[in-house]
A and B are shown apart, each in its own frame.
Chain A
Amino acid sequence: MTTPSLDTNLCGIKMSNPTVLPSGFLGTSKSLLKRVADSGVGAATIKSVSFEAREGHKNPTVIPFEGGMLNAVGYSNPGAEETAREFSNLKDVPIPVIASIIGTEPDDFVRVVDKLSANEFSAIELPLSCPHTPGFGLLAGQGTPESTGKIVAAVRNASKLPIFVKLSPNIPEIGNLAKAAENAGADAITAVNTLGPGMIINIEARKPILSYKVGGVSGQALRPVATRCVYDIYEAVKIPIIGTGGISTGRHAIEMIMAGATAIGVGTAIYERGIDVFRKICQEMETWMSENSYNSIHEMIGVAHE
């Protein structure tokens, strides 16, 4: 029996397997991208970059709970110029690297795209969906078809790279939003960003634990919502989907692919299973595919819709 192939083609980007490091996890330096590549990831996203440097929210910014994790890091990043320097010579990193770009107005995104234009990124991701940072994502009203369309169109004019648009699970008609992104020129949809915001209160301190009080929910608690979002988006658009939200095993990954994902994001599971989680998930996928007579990822995409 032949070993099933995990090769994935995500709008022309060739990956050795469908796992993707989502933005905000470990993507602060080129050295860490090499480390996750060594840990078996198929592609990696850098920590979201704005034009100017940002310190983000105060600690605590990340807190685990029994259903996953709550975070409000607040988009700390060293700014576009410094990011361009850190991620120069990306050929040193043996996997495709995705630049996550944030801004408030369409022009802000374009200014960052221009600064990073000499870097060898494989794609641009626009997270128009952060639930906990004033001036960005949902708190800047970017989660509407109109706003999403404007930002995607502006970035489309500024770059030839594939554009991924990362959506919020909070949007009831998520298929319509994905459609707006596709119509404006997006090449893929990343679904989903964190849910919420949520809150965890320490009852002895009588205060929310996160300094920003609220934060995005990721991990197990998010997974059924993420799977449903990917299912809805698959029905609404033709472009591929990177399914992200609570995936920590090979079975979860295959479930997301069957809902319609071409690639799958793995973030919070790094906490639960260590940085080798990518390799573990791939091995589990291979085993399951062998046992169930699947030879390729492609054969499984969207089969839950049949």
Chain B
Amino acid sequence: MSEFASFDQPVMMKIDKIIDESNGTKSFMFKYKLDYDPGQFIMVWLPGVDEKPFAVSYLGDGFFGITVLERGKFTKLLHQMGPGDRIGIRGPFGHGYSFPDSVKNGKGSVCVIGGGCGMASVTVLIEKLQNNNPTILMGAATSRSLFFKNRYKNLTLFTDDGSEGIKGYPTDVLEDLHNKHEYDIIYTCGPEIMMSKVFEFCKKHDIQFEASLERYMKCGIGVCGQCVCDGQMVCKDGPVFDLQALSNMNDFGKYSLLKSGKRVSLQEYADWRSC
């Protein structure tokens, strides 16, 4: 539909169709070619409202989609839109997941862990890793915040409260799974506390590891410094970082910047983001 596949400025794209993913989550599909690597992000602009980063959760020949949980004003307005309505998209930006030689061409043992909304960031990755038949673990606070639970056959679900799947966290079973599968690499996107536990596990067992970080972003193109995490710009150097990079990032699993640039604990940051 468009001869361009990446965009410096927002391009107004028509919503082609909307998929109700249940539990207050919808996917918005666009008939555009997007040169997107799994783990990258796009900036979504609602003119006159705000602009926010999203992962691409559906990607095919000439189409892509994003998956959005209704949470605040921005996502509420997005959820009110219908097919034919237009929103602004710029990107894709950043540095996505990488595929080391150990997992190329379907060889190698892979585990993908998605936590909550982070599941949207790993779907395109999972599809790219089809030939590796990856272990897929998905965790959420409660059954009401699970989505994509029917998208993959071999998916193991976890909820903090046990309302669906296994009660507990994906990290609870990593040791057993690794003994069985001997993972070459574990990819994850989700709450940073969970990701830092997986990071520690991978460090201990010498497994390659990649995680996608979330920080409040402004420019999205590596100039403003808002999304800094220990000298790394999450929008440009990330959002995906490997084990070695994360080992040098003291803020990982601990601190994040509020909109003012104030550095606070991840808990305080999460409280601000969820309101």
In the assembled complex, A281 has its CB within 8 A of some CB on chain B:
no
Interface size on B (CB < 8 Å)? Answer: 36
A166 to chain B, nearest CB (A): 18
Interface residues of B in 194-249 (CB under 8 A from A): 217-226, 228, 230-233
Decide if B10 touches A32 in the complex (CB within 8 Å).
no
In the assembled complex, B106 has its CB within 8 A of some CB on chain A:
no
- CB 8 Å contact bits of B1-43 with A (1 = contact, 0 = none): 0000000111110000000000000000000000000000001
Decide if A78 touches B218 in the complex (CB within 8 Å).
no
A60: chain B residues at CB < 8 Å are 10, 43, 45, 51
Contact for A31 among B47, B218, B226, B230, CB less than 8 A: B230
Cα(A1)–Cα(B67), bound, Å: 61
Decide if A47 touches B223 in the complex (CB within 8 Å).
no
In the assembled complex, A28 has its CB within 8 A of some CB on chain B:
yes
Smallest CB-CB separation from B229: which chain A residue? A31
Cα(A63)–Cα(B52), bound, Å: 14
Contact for A207 among B47, B219, B221, B260, CB less than 8 A: B47
In the assembled complex, A202 has its CB within 8 A of some CB on chain B:
yes
A149 to chain B, nearest CB (A): 31
Interface size on A (CB < 8 Å)? Answer: 45
In the assembled complex, B72 has its CB within 8 A of some CB on chain A:
no
Interface residues of A in 16-32 (CB under 8 A from B): 24-29, 31-32
In the assembled complex, A148 has its CB within 8 A of some CB on chain B:
no
Cα(A28)–Cα(B219), bound, Å: 13
Decide if B223 touches A26 in the complex (CB within 8 Å).
yes
Cα(A92)–Cα(B47), bound, Å: 42
Q: Which residues of B contact A (CB under 8 A)?
A: 8-12, 43, 45, 47-48, 50-52, 86, 88, 217-226, 228, 230-233, 257-263
Given A60-B43, A61-B218, A82-B263, 13 new contacts (CB under 8 A):
A26-B225, A26-B228, A28-B226, A29-B231, A29-B263, A58-B50, A64-B9, A73-B218, A205-B47, A207-B48, A209-B45, A267-B223, A270-B222
7 closest Cβ pairs, A-B complex: A28-B225, A204-B12, A78-B262, A31-B231, A62-B219, A59-B51, A205-B47
**6 A-B pairs in the complex with CB atoms less than 8 angstroms apart:** A31-B231, A53-B262, A58-B50, A62-B224, A76-B259, A86-B263
